[in-house]
């Protein structure tokens, strides 16, 4: 690749990190990603549950050119939100996952990416680009791994050696060919802390998550009412779950790093359940506005609260899990 392409990448990198305030920056090609085969198998086993958008887009998620036909490169970025100063969950409260106790990252990262795209166009007038933050079908973690931001850990999250896994990802697809970075390599080793820490045993095997068991899925993405005879275990979580990340040694040793554009909103860290159950829909909308919590439709909020407010007796036993698999192959790398 020419030295001018190297120089352009260096300029973009400096602008993304120094001006826009991203915490990580890397480049990969726009070639299809290899992990797409895992996605297809994941769907075929039904691990996506009610996330029908995952099944509907499985064939194109690994193909960046589906989103920008003449894409040559994908610029991958991340914002960090590692702030481990959690107080213990007060009695009668529900926990909100750390990524959701702040402004909605989709908007924050998208705005920054659009500025990056415009800057690219100032430097290369014929450049075409498209900004993506979870908003279009793309295997974001695979691309981030290939662009060197971090490896996909056994908990399926992208982990950076310096910053850990509490990262939110975004991509700028572009028709401009930029020199790719080296892919990140796996540093999970023999550790299994995340697999052991998951309260619902949602990992079928290392690197494989059955979303139907995952509290993040159950509290946020699952739309249907829960089975009243067998409500899921939510382990105190009202919205999302961090257990497979807070236990990870790469997070325990990571420096506190919260992107200034995504400051913590401490009043959202845990919410009092009984008063929440009294809220009217408009009040919930006002409380959640502008944060990832807004994704939680009022009906689903009430459903989650019903489980969290119920006496322990109604919680199901994980050993009776109807999704228990018997035919799972072990991860190839173990």
Residues that bind ligand SF4 (CB under 6 A): 153-155, 159, 188, 191-194, 198-200, 202, 209, 214-216, 241, 243-244, 247-250
| Annotated catalytic residue 83 | no
Return d(Cα 190, Cα 174) in angstroms, integer: 38
Q: Where are the beta strands (DSSP E) in 49-157?
A: 73-82, 93-96, 129-132, 151-152
Return d(Cα 315, Cα 323) in angstroms, integer: 16
- In sequence order, the 6+-apart residues with CB closer than 8 A to the CB of 201 are 213, 318, 321
Under the criterion CB under 6 A, does residue 291 sit at the interface with ligand B12? no
Return d(Cα 245, Cα 63) in angstroms, integer: 28
Q: Where are the alpha helices (DSSP H) in the chain?
A: 3-14, 36-44, 52-56, 105-123, 140-146, 193-197, 215-216, 243-246, 249-252, 273-278, 281-288, 298-309
Q: How far is the CB of 214 from ligand B12 (least distance, A)?
A: 4
Under the criterion CB under 6 A, does residue 200 sit at the interface with ligand B12? no
SS3 label, residue 182? coil
Q: How far is the CB of 83 from ligand SF4 (least distance, A)?
A: 17
Q: Contact letters (x/-) for ligand B12, 102-141, by CB under 6 A? A: -------------------------------xx---xxxx
Using CB under 6 A, pick the residue from 8, 13, 22, 35 that binds ligand B12.
Answer: 35
Q: Catalytic residue among 59, 134, 181, 186, which? A: 134
**Using CB distances below 5 to 8 A depending on partner kind, what does residue 200 bind out of ligand SF4, ligand B12, none?**
ligand SF4
Name the percent of the chain in helix, strand, coil, to the closest 5: 35, 15, 45
User: Cα–chain-centroid distance for residue 178?
Assistant: 26
Residue identified by tokens 């959640």 is 288
**Using CB distances below 5 to 8 A depending on partner kind, what does residue 250 bind out of ligand B12, ligand SF4, none?**
ligand SF4
Under the criterion CB under 6 A, does residue 327 sit at the interface with ligand B12? no
Q: Where are the alpha helices (DSSP H) in 270-327?
A: 273-278, 281-288, 298-309
Residues facing 132 on adjacent strands: 171
Nearer CB in complex with ligand B12: 12/194 = 194
Radius of gyration of the chain, Cα coordinates, nearest whole angstrom = 20
**Using CB distances below 5 to 8 A depending on partner kind, what does residue 305 bind out of ligand B12, ligand SF4, none?**
none
**Using CB distances below 5 to 8 A depending on partner kind, what does residue 149 bind out of ligand B12, ligand SF4, none?**
none
Using CB under 6 A, pick the residue from 22, 129, 151, 217 that binds ligand B12.
Answer: 217
Nearest by Cα to 252 from 197, 185, 312: 197
Choose one: 11-19, 111-119, 293-301, 326-334; the region binding ligand B12 (CB under 6 A): 326-334
Under the criterion CB under 6 A, does residue 305 sit at the interface with ligand B12? no
Under the criterion CB under 6 A, does residue 167 sit at the interface with ligand B12? yes
Q: Contact letters (x/-) for ligand B12, 50-69, by CB under 6 A? A: -x--x---------------
Nearest by Cα to 80 from 8, 161, 9: 161
Indicate which residues carry an active-site annotation. 134
Give the footprint of ligand B12 on this chain (CB under 6 A): 35, 38-39, 42, 51, 54, 97, 99, 133-134, 138-142, 152, 155-158, 165, 167-169, 207-209, 211, 214, 216-217, 220-221, 240-242, 244, 331-333
């Amino acid at each position: 690749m020419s030295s001018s392409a190297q120089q352009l990448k260096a300029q973009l990198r400096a602008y993304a990190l120094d001006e826009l305030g991203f915490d990580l920056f890397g480049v990969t090609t726009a070639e299809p990603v290899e992990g797409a085969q895992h996605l297809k198998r994941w769907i075929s086993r039904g691990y996506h549950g009610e996330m029908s958008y995952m099944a509907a887009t499985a064939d194109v998620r690994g193909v960046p050119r589906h989103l920008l036909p003449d894409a040559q490169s994908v610029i991958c970025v991340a914002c960090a939100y590692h702030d481990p100063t959690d107080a213990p969950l007060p009695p009668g409260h529900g926990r909100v996952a750390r990524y959701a106790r702040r402004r909605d990252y989709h908007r924050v990262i998208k705005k920054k990416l659009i500025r990056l795209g415009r800057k690219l166009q100032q430097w290369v007038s014929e450049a075409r680009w498209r900004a993506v933050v979870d908003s279009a079908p793309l295997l974001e973690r695979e691309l981030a791994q290939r662009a060197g931001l971090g490896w996909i850990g056994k908990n399926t999250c992208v982990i950076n050696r310096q910053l850990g896994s509490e990262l939110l990802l975004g991509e700028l697809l572009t028709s401009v060919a930029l020199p790719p970075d080296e892919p990140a390599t796996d540093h999970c080793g023999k550790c299994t802390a995340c697999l052991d820490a998951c309260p619902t045993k949602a990992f079928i095997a290392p690197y494989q998550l059955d979303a139907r068991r995952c509290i993040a899925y159950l509290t946020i993405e699952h739309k249907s009412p829960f089975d009243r005879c067998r409500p899921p275990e939510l382990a105190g979580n009202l919205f999302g779950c961090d257990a497979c990340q807070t236990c990870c040694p790469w997070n325990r040793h990571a420096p506190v790093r919260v992107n200034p554009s995504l400051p913590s909103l401490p009043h959202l860290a845990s919410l009092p359940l009984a008063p929440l159950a009294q809220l009217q829909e408009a009040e919930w909308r006002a409380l959640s506005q502008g944060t990832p919590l807004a994704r939680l439709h009022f009906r689903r909020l009430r459903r989650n609260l019903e489980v969290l407010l119920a006496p322990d007796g109604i919680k199901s036993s994980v050993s009776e899990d109807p999704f228990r698999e018997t035919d799972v192959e072990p991860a190839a790398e173990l």
